[in-house]
Amino acid sequence: MTNVTEQKKLAKTHNGKKKQEQDPMIRFSKALSKVLRHTAQSNGLQLRPDGFVSVDDLLRLPQFKNLSLQMLKKIVDENEKKRFSLIEMEGKLLIRANQGHTIRTVEVPMTRIEDASLLPKVVHGTRKELWKTISKEGLSRMKRNHIHCATGLFGEPGVVSGIRKSCTLYIYIDVLKAMQHNVEFYQSENGVILTEGKNGILSPSFFKKVETNLGEVLLDEDTKAETPKADDSLLKGTDTESVDDLDPFSEDMESLTVHDLNLVQEKHSNFGYSEGIVKGKMEVAQSGFDDGYAQGAIYGYEVGKKLGELKAKLLIVEDEKEQVLLQNQLEELEQQSEFSKFVFANKESIRSKIDKKSTL
pLDDT one-digit tens code per residue, 301-335: 566 667 777 777 777 777 777 888 888 887 777 77
Q: What pLDDT, on the 0 to 100 scale, is given for residue 290?
A: 36
Is 344 in contact with 293 (CB distance < 8 Å)? no
pLDDT one-digit tens code per residue, 187-204: 987 788 999 999 889 999
The answer to whether residues 148 and 174 belong to one domain is yes
The answer to whether residues 143 and 211 belong to one domain is yes
pLDDT at 298 > cutoff 80: no
pLDDT one-digit tens code per residue, 44-73: 888 888 889 999 999 999 889 889 999 999
Q: Choose the final residue of a domain: 226, 251, 286.
A: 226
Give the up-direction half-sphere exposure of residue 65: CA atoms within 13 A in the CB hemisphere.
2
The answer as to whether 6 is a domain residue is: no
Centre a 10 Å sphere on the Cβ of residue 183 and count the other Cβ atoms it contains.
Answer: 18
The answer to whether residues 211 and 256 belong to one domain is no
pLDDT at 164 > cutoff 50: yes
The answer as to whether 234 is a domain residue is: no
Q: State how far the Cα of 327 lies from the Cα of 141, in Å rounded to an integer.
A: 17
Confidence of residue 158 (pLDDT cuts 50, 70, 90): low
The answer as to whether 352 is a domain residue is: no
- Per the model's pLDDT, the better-predicted residue between 154 and 296 turns out to be 154
The answer to whether residues 115 and 217 belong to one domain is yes
Q: What pLDDT, on the 0 to 100 scale, is given for residue 273?
A: 33
The answer as to whether 313 is a domain residue is: yes
The answer to whether residues 319 and 212 belong to one domain is no
pLDDT at 233 > cutoff 50: no
The answer as to whether 351 is a domain residue is: no
Of 92-106, 141-155, 159-173, 287-301, where does mean pLDDT reach its minimum? 287-301
The answer to whether residues 278 and 323 belong to one domain is yes
The answer to whether residues 116 and 221 belong to one domain is yes
Mean pLDDT to the nearest integer, 6-17: 41
The answer to whether residues 133 and 219 belong to one domain is yes
The answer to whether residues 115 and 218 belong to one domain is yes
The answer as to whether 296 is a domain residue is: yes
Q: State how far the Cα of 334 lies from the Cα of 329, in Å rounded to an integer.
A: 9
CATH code, 148: 3.20.170.30
pLDDT one-digit tens code per residue, 342-359: 666 666 666 666 666 555
Confidence of residue 287 (pLDDT cuts 50, 70, 90): very low
Q: Choose the final residue of a domain: 70, 97, 124.
A: 97
Give the total number of structural domains in the chain. 3
The answer as to whether 238 is a domain residue is: no
pLDDT at 293 > cutoff 60: no
The answer as to whether 121 is a domain residue is: yes
Mean pLDDT to the nearest integer, 221-235: 44
Q: What pLDDT, on the 0 to 100 scale, is given for residue 323?
A: 80
- Per the model's pLDDT, the better-predicted residue between 13 and 312 turns out to be 312
The answer to whether residues 335 and 285 belong to one domain is yes
- Per the model's pLDDT, the better-predicted residue between 27 and 266 turns out to be 27
Domain encompassing residue 178: 111-226
Q: Choose the final residue of a domain: 71, 97, 123.
A: 97
Q: State how far the Cα of 277 lies from the Cα of 255, in Å rounded to an integer.
A: 10
Q: What pLDDT, on the 0 to 100 scale, is given for residue 9?
A: 43
Centre a 10 Å sphere on the Cβ of residue 77 and count the other Cβ atoms it contains.
Answer: 10
Mean pLDDT to the nearest integer, 122-142: 90
The answer to whether residues 119 and 220 belong to one domain is yes
Mean pLDDT to the nearest integer, 96-113: 80
pLDDT one-digit tens code per residue, 244-253: 443 333 333 3
Q: State how far the Cα of 192 lies from the Cα of 270, in Å rounded to an integer.
A: 34
The answer to whether residues 186 and 139 belong to one domain is yes
CATH code, 78: 1.10.10.970
Handedness of CA 92, 97, 103, 106 (dihedral sign): positive
Q: State how far the Cα of 186 lies from the Cα of 166, in Å rounded to an integer.
A: 24
